[in-house]
Amino acid sequence: MLDAQIKGTTTGNGAEVNASHQLLVQPETDVLTNAANVGAVKVFSENNGASQGTGLSLKSPETSLDYRLRVGMDNLFDYEVFNYAGQNTSKHKYNATNVVSAWASGYFTLNSTSVVFGTSGAMLNTYRHFPLYGAGTTYVETYMGISMAMVTNINIDAGLFLPNSTSSTVIPLEGIYFRSNSTGTFGVINNAGVETTTSPFSGFTMAANQIYKMTIAIGLGQVDFWIDDVLMGTIVKGTAAGGPIAEATLPWGVRHHHTGIPSAGLQTKVYGYAISVGDYAMNRPWRDTIVGMNHGSIQGHSGGTQGSTCNYANSAAPASASLSNSVAGYTTLGGQFQFAAVAGAETDYALFAYQLPAVSSLVSGRSLVITGVTIDTFNMGAAVATTPTLLQWSIGVDSTAASLAQGEGANAKARRVLPLGTQMLAIATPIGGNCDRQISRTFSTPLIVNPTGFVQIFLKMPVATNTGSQIIRGIVSVDGYWE
């Protein structure tokens, strides 16, 4: 065997090799001057360090047929922080058996009273299901921890899963999730109730009162499980399977299950979660993304008053509003209305005045983005007499008070007004007769209402007759979203 050294004839410097006997090569550094010296070098990205988790993980970037480097785009589907003091019933469904949970102190805490009952559990799931798309990657991030070192007879699952009926004490019907118990923390793929798991993650133990970023990266070929940006485990789909599970969509959830009598009253603390899909240019309008996270203005946001924001009682006429310039007829964001016919005047009446939730450590401050208003009005009670009824509608935003007379000051703000249009009920319009037109405004420049500000839908009736029994009735619809 020839034992030879490679040396430069000019410098006399010798070439060097690494421990694997690979020649150490320094690529050309002066590309502009020595372009001809540039050779072909394969480029890889280091996704996981050699000394971390499962060890070195390299991936090569991809170039299109038109010589363009492909760059993945992340599309946000949901994001939630549990800093509020009650369940968001618009977004989440909750089930429990002999276990109490709490929304408090910046967390959603399962088993908040630290009970040690056997065969018990609690579970929170999103109503929304999230997609698992072809070549793209669905990312599921859950920020969570435990109140003490792991104890026996508890399973904690977090990720995407389809609940088994409403029972928190039965494994999900299907899903992809982390599981933590007394054997360790590991990744799970559940296909039609059959679980395939990684080994417990080597070198990792959940410490008490520490919040971990637990990320699942789901592709059709494999699923990666990361903790605090370290790759801990991977499950590759079976050769006979089209994907890791049969479902094309799954809800997010967390499950705290006592499989027997726990050795101590451990709590599961969830700070929040985020769901996104990478590598697709979906070109979805931002408002579609926001509304997909249950932040449409038709319902309260997390921490605010839950349920519908408009005035619409089931199978009932609206209560009659007392028209006033300073007091709201209704405190909702639009909905049904009715009021007794009044004499014509230049008085502005605050028919609706809705205040955005107050901000605190338990309520995130959200602005309301209003994109449109529609108003339909009709006559009830008695026919219109002697004069027409003219209704002049406007919207006011961001006042610091319900009163339309609120002025401007250092810590006060008057309404910002945008006229919406006019409607008329002609003389002799019968009971059930509509106004001459519908008001329908779409705002190319949205109206913004800041936290604690008011949205006022108000009107004046410069021409009208105070007719006994006559009632003006209708519907106001406000389109928008929380941001």
Tens digit of pLDDT at every position of the chain (483 positions): 456 777 777 787 888 888 887 888 777 778 778 878 777 667 778 878 877 878 888 777 767 666 777 677 789 999 999 999 999 999 999 999 999 999 999 999 999 999 999 999 999 999 999 998 877 889 999 999 999 999 999 999 999 999 988 789 999 999 999 999 999 999 999 998 999 999 999 999 999 999 999 999 999 889 999 999 999 999 998 877 778 888 889 999 999 999 999 999 999 999 999 999 988 878 888 888 998 998 999 999 888 888 999 999 999 999 999 999 999 999 999 999 999 999 999 999 999 999 999 888 788 889 999 999 999 999 999 999 999 999 999 999 999 999 999 999 999 999 999 999 999 999 999 999 999 999 999 999 999 999 999 999 999 999 999 999 999 999 999 999 999
Question: 254 and 362 in one domain?
Answer: no
- Same domain assignment for residues 88 and 225: yes
Same domain assignment for residues 250 and 342 = no
CATH code for position 422: 2.60.120
222 lies in the same domain as 361: no
Q: For residues 79 and 77, give the distance between their C-alpha atoms in angstroms, rounded to a whole number.
A: 7
Residue 364 lies in domain: 335-482
Does residue 327 sit within a domain?
Answer: no
Q: Say yes or no: 250 and 112 in one domain.
A: yes
Domain final position from 283, 305, 323? 283
> Does 373 fall in a domain?
yes
Q: Is residue 397 part of a domain?
A: yes
Last residue of a domain, one of 268, 283, 298: 283
Nearest to residue 85, comparing CAs of 67, 109, 69? 109
Statement to judge: residues 201 and 108 lie in one domain: yes
Roughly how many angstroms between the first and final C-alpha of the chain, as a whole number? 72
pTM for this structure?
0.83
- 26 in a structural domain: no
Give the separation between CA 394 and CA 352, rounded to whole angstroms.
11
Vertex 54: Cα angle to 49 and 55 (nearest 5): 35
> Rounded CA gap, 102 and 87, in Å?
9
- CATH code, domain carrying 92: 2.60.120.200
Beta pairing class for 368-380 and 471-482: antiparallel
What is the C-alpha separation between 273 and 294, in angstroms, rounded?
Answer: 14
**In this structure, what token pair is assigned to residue 175?**
């899903």
Same domain assignment for residues 266 and 375: no
441 inside domain: yes
CA distance 76 to 291: 12
| Secondary structure of residue 141 in the 3-state scheme | strand
Classify residue 168: in a domain, yes or no.
yes
366 and 272 in a common domain = no
Query: Is 234 found in the same domain as 91?
Result: yes
Whether residue 269 sits in one domain with residue 341:
no
Residue 232 lies inside a defined structural domain of this protein: yes
148/273 same-domain check: yes
Q: Please report how many Cα atoms fall inside a 13 Å half-sphere around the Cα of residue 194, on the Cβ side.
A: 6
Whether 269 is in a domain gets the answer: yes
Same domain membership, residue 233 and residue 94: yes
- Structural domain total, the chain: 2
Phi, psi of 309 (to 5 degrees): -95, -10
| Residue whose C-alpha is closest to residue 465's, from 441, 434, 429, 439 | 429
Q: Which of 217, 249, 283 is the last residue of a domain?
A: 283
CA atoms of 467 and 465, how far apart (whole Å): 6
